[in-house]
Amino acid sequence: MLTKKVETPAKVQVDMEKSLRVSKKILDLLQKRTKSSAEAYFAVRLVGIFLEEKLGFKMTAEQEDELRKLWRKDTEASDKGLTS
């Protein structure tokens, strides 16, 4: 079966706050199901690669930076007891 490969991925609008909430749930699941941080990391990377290949787009550097900032902000707030 042939699939159409997108040469230049279009920017996709994403709800970053929702993505953060979902990623935290996935992380909780991975921590319960894997034996090491390395296994969890590779599982996430494989899912990311699968989605990039299947859907024909990937995260831009700007989106990745924004998600990293959100993650750090959320982690700092969690450390201070401001979020669950």
Tens digit of pLDDT for each residue in 47-68? 989 988 998 888 888 888 988 8
Residue written as tokens 């989106």? 63
What is the DSSP secondary structure assignment for residue 69, as one 8-state letter?
H
| 70 assigned to some structural domain | no
The three-state secondary structure class of 47 is helix
Average pLDDT over the chain, rounded to whole?
A: 82
In a domain, 37, yes or no: yes
Asked if residue 41 belongs to a domain, the reply is yes
Identify the residue with better confidence: 81 or 24. 24
Lowest-confidence region among 12-21, 28-37, 45-54, 75-84: 75-84
Domain count, the chain: 1
Specify whether the CB–CB gap between 44 and 30 falls below 8 A.
Answer: yes
Which comes out higher in pLDDT, residue 51 or 1?
51
Q: Does the pLDDT value for residue 13 go beyond 80?
A: no
For residue 35, being part of any structural domain is answered with yes
Does some domain include residue 76? no
Residue 31 domain-assigned? yes
pTM above 0.75, yes or no: no
CA atoms within 13 A on the CB side of 18: 3
Q: Is residue 34 part of a domain?
A: yes
The boundaries of the domain holding residue 52 are: 15-56
Residue 77 lies in a domain: no
CA distance 72 to 65: 11
11 DSSP 8-state letter: P
